[in-house]
Amino acid sequence: MNALLGDGRASLRSLADDLNVSVTTVSNHLSTLEDEGIIQGYTPKVDYDKLGYDVTAIVQLKVEGSALPEVTETLRQHDQMMSVYEVTGDYDVIAVGKFLDTDDMNDQIKGLLTDPEINESNTSVVLNAAKEHEQFDLDTE
């Protein structure tokens, strides 16, 4: 799987050659990983900055307990929210979003915060993404 993490577009033949196994072995292993839901799809890695999404914001929310599923679902369905987490600690939800500029961020977040079940919010703008959307090699031994 680590070989695939390095190049999601690698052919079965090149993976087999790199791993010194047969194409059938690679194909069977990938099918098993897909069937078990470990590999959930193959998607391109998009550089949102190059598409004009210059602002990344981290939104922290305190939510009425019973409304947590609704709020997380609303955030989850929002196109520009890249990640949504229910968390422990001072806040209940943390979401990471990409926006065209600060005006776009402000408009989008203000729209989300009209929910009366959100008791408190804190938004941080990312100044520099030191590491983003990276995967890590798995210990396969």
Model pLDDT for residues 79-90, shown as the tens digit of each residue: 999 999 999 999
Model pLDDT for residues 111-141, shown as the tens digit of each residue: 988 999 999 999 999 999 998 877 777 776 5
- What stretch(es) of the chain map to CATH 3.30.70.920? 48-126
Highest mean pLDDT among 5-9, 33-37, 51-55: 51-55
- The reply to whether the predicted model has a pTM over 0.85 is no
- Give the number of C-alpha atoms closer than 13 A to the C-alpha of residue 137, restricted to the C-beta side: 6
Percentage of the chain with pLDDT > 70?
A: 94
pLDDT at 61: 97
Domain 48-126 listed as CATH 3.20.20.80: no
